[in-house]
Structure 1
Amino acid sequence: MINDDAVIDTLEELEAFLLAVESGGFGLNNVAGVALATNNADGRPFVAVLDDNHQLLLGRWVTPEVFENGKDMVRNGPKKLH
């Protein structure tokens, strides 16, 4: 499920989203990973939270800039604030 109203347009928002997923803030079960992807129908980029069967649990649209510049953050995880 992708929320059409929620677009992540900064790296700070992407980091907050990833931290919320990691901490269980969305109440999702069986989270296995997070990936950046593009919609097959229109090529629009989004961040996807996937379960252990690679099924979409939650998604948020991202801007092209966040898609390009957030790849390392999604791959390696957000910075931990201590």
Structure 2
Amino acid sequence: MINDNDVIETLDELETFLRLIEMGGLGLNNVEGVALATNNTNGRPFVAVLDDKQKLVLGRWVTQDVFENGKDMVRYGTKKPH
């Protein structure tokens, strides 16, 4: 479930999105992880919110810059107090 009009364009936007996920602010169930990935069809990068069975619960497209420079933020969290 990825909305084509909803693109994360900056690291600040990625941080905000990750904090929403960490705090449960989007009302998603069974969230177990977040990963950066690429679409198999067109290679377009996105951030994937995964459930306890590693299935996509929510995704947001990201720019190539966010994909390349946001890996540590996705891997280790935002490190800001909630």
TM-score in terms of structure 2 length: 0.96
Letter in structure 2 aligned against 1:51: D
Q: Is 1:4 the equivalent of 2:4?
A: yes
Structure 2: distance between partners of 1:81 and 1:39 = 32
Aligned length, in residue pairs:
82
Question: Percent identity among equivalent residues?
Answer: 73
Q: Note the alpha carbon deviations across 1:29-79, whole angstroms, 9 max, x for none.
A: 000000000000000000000001000000000000000000000000012
Amino acid at match of 2:69: N
- Tell me, which stretches of 5 or more residues in structure 2 are unaligned? none
Q: Distance in 1 between matches of 2:17 and 2:35?
A: 12
> How does the TM-score come out when normalised to structure 1?
0.96
| Structure 1 Cα separation of the partners of residues 49 and 39 of structure 2 | 14
**Structure 1 equivalent of residue 13 of structure 2:** 13
Which aligned pairs between 1:1-82 and structure 2 lie closer than 5 A? Answer: 1-81=1-81
Root mean square deviation of aligned Cα = 1.0
* Distance in 2 of aligned mates of 1:47 and 1:12: 14
After TM superposition, which residue ranges in structure 1, 4 or more long, deviate above 2 angstroms? none
Letter in 2 for 1:45: P
CA distance in 2, matches of 1:59, 1:25: 15
1:49 maps to amino acid:
V
Displacement of 1:4 after TM fit? Answer: 1.0
